[in-house]
């Protein structure tokens, strides 16, 4: 539960429509079922076609309103599970703080309404699971609800795209086809829930380093520009046949410790890594390799809208 804070000086009223002053949202992880890199864009980003799928593994974020005590009054507290092994900043650079401030600004409430965020992390950062982006999307939608929906869906999408390439997807969740740098989102009919096992290394992989390793002007060989996949009737064998990740060779180059497991049948890279995953349960050989490399194994499943 979020603590109540009494501001110094005269209290300002909360905005109209804010009869409910706190809410809790779940922020799911994602994996890439398909990731095709078409080439580098003039703006420096890479043009992508990717199919994203949310998972049951999630962070949880509490959002509470209070009268502002200073301009841009957004605070963040963190709860990390034992052995999480990551340091996460709580200041202005954190994506959820930026998301809250962006929403307040869009609603015209900067300096009038303060926001307390309490984030419980379960999704490892820097692993290709989109935890930070998902947290930011949960703040956008949750805070927008608390403030009486000052932003419509189009405005939320614009804010999300300004925050990061994966953030717009998490406004939709489930299964979606994403284009551009990932910000153009087309919701898809999801397959029936399927089991996913995550293999979590004790190290991250730098996304800029992976994209740099692709090489300037690189265009994916055999680009298919897949535009209308039908997933709703797919089961695990069909999902395996669909899978593609053009970032895998670059990720292997950047972080050689991924190679032994990626050489195992059915083990895939999510995004730019470092998270690996497989559909279903891991083999004894995969489990043994994870033990040798101090990798955590997390069993979860897909999460539809």
pLDDT of residue 85: 61
Residues 131 and 160 in one domain: yes
Catalytic residue, chosen from 30, 59, 73, 121, is 30
Rounded CA separation 301/54 (Å) = 9
Catalytic residue check, 303:
no
DSSP secondary structure of 268-283 = EE-TTSS-EEEES---
Question: Among 188, 215, 231, where does a domain finish?
Answer: 188
Number of domains in the chain: 2
Query: What confidence tens digit (pLDDT) does each residue in 223-282 have?
Result: 454 555 678 888 888 888 889 999 999 999 999 999 999 998 899 999 988 999 999 999
Q: Which domain, by its residues, includes 61?
A: 22-188
What average pLDDT does the chain have?
A: 86
Question: Among 188, 216, 242, where does a domain finish?
Answer: 188
Long-range pairs, 91-96, Cβ under 8 A, ≥24: 95/132, 95/133, 95/135, 95/136, 95/163, 95/164, 95/167, 96/61, 96/132, 96/135, 96/136, 96/139
Check whether the bond before 274 is cis (ω within 30° of 0): yes
Query: What confidence tens digit (pLDDT) does each residue in 31-60 have?
Result: 999 999 887 778 777 888 999 999 999 999
1 falls within a domain: no
Least confident of 72-86, 116-130, 138-152: 72-86
13 falls within a domain: no
Report residue 172 as tokens.
């939709």
90 and 77 Cβ atoms separated by less than 8 Å: yes
Residues 143 and 231 in one domain: no
With 70 as the cut, is the pLDDT of residue 6 above it? no
- Residue carrying the six token digits 């055999």: 222
275 falls within a domain: yes
Catalytic residue, chosen from 59, 73, 135, 166, is 166
Question: Among 154, 188, 222, where does a domain finish?
Answer: 188
Band of the pLDDT at 1, cuts 50, 70, 90? Answer: very low
pLDDT of residue 282: 92
Residues 60 and 159 in one domain: yes
Catalytic residue check, 30:
yes
Residues 292 and 254 in one domain: yes
H-helix segments, the chain? 95-106, 131-146, 153-163, 167-172, 207-214, 236-242, 248-254, 259-262, 284-292
């Amino acid at each position: 539960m979020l603590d109540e804070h009494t501001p110094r000086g005269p209290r300002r009223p909360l905005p109209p429509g804010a009869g409910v002053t706190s809410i809790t949202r779940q922020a799911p992880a994602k994996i890439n079922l398909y990731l095709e890199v078409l080439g580098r864009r003039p703006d420096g980003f890479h043009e992508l076609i990717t199919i994203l799928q949310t998972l049951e593994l999630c962070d949880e974020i509490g959002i509470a309103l209070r009268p502002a005590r200073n301009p841009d009054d957004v605070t963040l507290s963190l709860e990390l599970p034992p052995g999480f092994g990551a340091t996460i900043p709580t200041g202005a650079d954190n994506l959820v703080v930026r998301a809250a401030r962006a929403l307040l600004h869009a609603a015209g409430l900067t300096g009038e309404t303060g926001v307390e965020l309490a984030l419980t992390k379960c999704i490892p950062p820097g692993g290709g699971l989109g935890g930070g982006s998902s947290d930011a999307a949960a703040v956008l939608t949750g805070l927008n609800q608390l403030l009486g929906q000052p932003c419509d869906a189009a405005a939320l999408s614009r804010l999300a795209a300004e925050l990061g390439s994966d953030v717009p997807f998490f406004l939709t969740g489930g299964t979606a086809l994403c284009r551009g740098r990932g910000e153009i989102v087309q919701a898809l009919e999801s397959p029936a829930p399927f089991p996913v096992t995550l293999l979590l290394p004790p190290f991250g992989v730098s996304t800029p380093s992976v994209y740099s390793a692709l090489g300037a002007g690189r265009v994916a060989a055999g680009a298919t520009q897949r535009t209308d996949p039908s997933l709703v009737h797919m089961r695990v064998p069909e999902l395996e046949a669909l899978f593609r990740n053009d970032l895998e060779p670059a990720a292997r180059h950047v972080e050689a410790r991924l190679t032994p497991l990626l050489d195992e049948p059915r083990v895939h890279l999510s995004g730019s890594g470092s998270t690996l995953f497989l559909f279903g349960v891991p083999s004894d050989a995969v489990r043994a390799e994870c033990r040798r490399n101090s990798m955590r194994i997390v069993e979860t499943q897909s999460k539809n809208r």
